[in-house]
Chain A
Amino acid sequence: MKKGAKRWAIVFLLPTVIAFCIAFLIPFIMGLYLSFCEFRTVGDAQFVGLQNYIRAFSQDSDFINALVFTIKYAITAVISINVIAFFLALMLTRRIRGTNLFRTIFFMPNLIGGIVLGYIWQLIINGVLYNYGYSITSSATFGYWGLVILSSWQMIGYMMIIYIAGIQNISSSVLEAARVDGASSLRTLISITIPSVMPSITICLFLSITNSFKLFDQNLALTAGAPSKQTQMLALDIYNTFYGRIGYEGVGQAKAVVFFVMVAGIALLQLYFTRSKEVEH
């Protein structure tokens, strides 16, 4: 079996592996190398050591500002998305009439693309703020909350689906036993429901944290960083460094490497922590 299969390696592996190398692996390795080079196009790279990394942090405060803004945004968005999604899931697992319709509606925004979402919410938020003489680009606070509301609207449905699956997996005999023992519904929630859905919580936190850090389309469409780059998140700052200013390609690539290390680090750390919680219960 194994020997027979080996002869077919080319047929089974080649298309995916070549595409993977061209679209991901080679660009990734080149990207790592180029972050230590000065270049305009890929061909004229000159090794400059850590200079790009130093420039990324010292030349202007854009990168640091974007980092701070991204972290602030991510904390609020992750909490708001997960808390609301979890309570929606609780409400939608009580066999209430219309559950399917509600689930359909709450999930729908998730399928709309980031660019379209950004312009939808720009209209809504500007429409509300106009009554007070402002627009979304008047202050970074508006952009900040705009992004939080937008991504909550988009992601809540997705996380809700995952929480619903988790809650439905709790065996009804455990819940019945709790009821017989006279546990209040708050007690049941804290002692049974939340520990039982820990795997769902891990997944949802993982997805919402990485998504928040990588947010780009919504940021571009909603505010594009206005006013004066104050609502610019990391991904958008990297994009603008690459394509917005000539001579900064190396700095852009260095920022991208820092960004990658951060996203990967946070994802792994978070997985490690919540997984260790899962084992306890």
Chain B
Amino acid sequence: MKKINFSNILIFVLLLVLSFLFLIPIITVVINSFKDQFFISQTPFVLPNSNTFAGLENYIKGIADTGFIAAFFWSLFITVCSVAAIVLFTAMTAWYITRVKTRFNSILYYLFVFSMIVPFQMVMFTMSKIANVLKLDNPIGLVFIYLGFGAGLSVFIFSGFVKSIPLSLEEAAIIDGCNTLQSFIYVVFPMLKPTAITVAILNTMWIWNDYLLPYLVIGSDYKTIPIAVQYLKGGYGSVDMGAMMAMLVLSIVPVIVFYLSCQKYIIKGVTAGAVKG
């Protein structure tokens, strides 16, 4: 017994060291966001002193230079609307193609699965051109594009779950006078809730951090957070390291708030999504 305890203590210490190593990059960025921009890139591991301390100057400058506030709200708007659209519409589609067996529906299912392995670069150019022609190059159009792009994985995950729901409940609802849409909304969808949370979490993590797709589709008129951060780097001039650090911190804060408040669901969602994917 004693031996096991001893090795557990060793492991505990090792884990402690490793988690500290994991946190160093984030801590370093936070510290540097309060330093004058000329003291950052060469001595990032030195704490600010009275000479190099810049207060909130980097934050004020970074927010002004990148339009961070607007970027935050566009990111929020696009993520929330896209995830809502994906969860609702792909759940309906997945239920329909699982329950109504026709050749068309099974072809559709395989097309959705196929789309999951196609890298974005394959459709990047043509998709952004089509989005342009169809006037989808605005935040609402982008939501529509995310629905199409997120459909593969989400339909796949929902379909796997729909198969395990007994038919009898839906049939009872129909006998009680529900039409198909009502029986979906009142009977099926509530049962899909755990899967809906998984789908929502996976899509939130993807869309919130996505850079290239929004950059190509709406990047010239609207900035999301990743576009705003990359924008600081843009051009050939030297980068304002102070503003950059402040923007990195501001980009991480919402993610950490989201993570700490929904951690249980995120861990569950990742596990469930991975097992089905």
Map CB proximity to A onto B226-250 as digits: 1 under 8 Å, 0 otherwise.
Answer: 1001100100000001001100100
Q: Is B123 an interface residue (CB 8 A)?
A: yes
Does B271 contact A217, Cβ atoms closer than 8 Å? no
Does A96 contact B8, Cβ atoms closer than 8 Å? yes
Map CB proximity to B onto A223-254 as digits: 1 under 8 Å, 0 otherwise.
Answer: 00000000000110011001000000100110
Query: In the bound complex, what is the Cα–Cα distance between A12 and B180 (angstroms)?
Result: 10
Q: Is B64 an interface residue (CB 8 A)?
A: no
Map CB proximity to B onto A15-38 as digits: 1 under 8 Å, 0 otherwise.
Answer: 111111111111110110010000
Nearest residue in A to B256 (C-beta to C-beta)? A108
How far apart are A158's CB and chain B's nearest CB, in angstroms? 6
Binds A, one of B48-56, B65-73, B110-118: B110-118
Query: In the bound complex, what is the Cα–Cα distance between A91 and B259 (angstroms)?
Result: 23
Q: Which of B122, B208, B212 contacts A217 (CB 8 A)?
A: B212
Question: Known contacts A105-B23, A126-B41, A161-B271; is A112 also within 8 Å of B252 by CB?
Answer: yes
CB neighbours of B125 from chain A (8 A): 31, 34, 242, 249, 252-253, 256
Query: In the bound complex, what is the Cα–Cα distance between A111 and B15 (angstroms)?
Result: 21
Q: Is B60 an interface residue (CB 8 A)?
A: no
Main SS of the interface on chain A? helix
Query: In the bound complex, what is the Cα–Cα distance between A263 and B258 (angstroms)?
Result: 32
How far apart are B40's CB and chain A's nearest CB, in angstroms? 7
Q: Is A142 an interface residue (CB 8 A)?
A: no
* B contact residues, range: 35 or more
Listed A/B pairs (11) with beta-carbon separation below 8 Å? A1-B174, A5-B96, A19-B151, A20-B115, A23-B149, A113-B208, A113-B211, A120-B29, A210-B117, A216-B121, A235-B121
Enumerate the 7 nearest inter-chain pairs by beta-carbon distance, A residue then B residue, closest first.
A23-B148, A113-B209, A19-B148, A127-B44, A12-B96, A27-B126, A27-B123
Interface residues of B, Cβ cutoff 8 Å to A: 8, 11-12, 14-16, 18-19, 22-26, 28-29, 32, 40-45, 85, 89-90, 92-93, 95-97, 99-100, 108, 111-112, 115, 117-127, 129-131, 134, 136, 144-149, 151-152, 155, 167, 170-171, 174, 179-181, 184, 205, 208-212, 225-226, 229-230, 233, 241, 244-245, 248, 251-252, 255-256, 258-260, 263, 266-267, 270-271, 274-275, 277
Interface residues of A, Cβ cutoff 8 Å to B: 1-2, 4-9, 11-13, 15-28, 30-31, 34, 41-42, 88, 91-92, 94, 96-98, 101-116, 119-121, 123-124, 126-127, 130, 153, 158, 161-162, 165, 199, 203, 207, 210, 213-214, 216-217, 220-221, 234-235, 238-239, 242, 249, 252-253, 256-257, 259-260, 263-264, 267-268
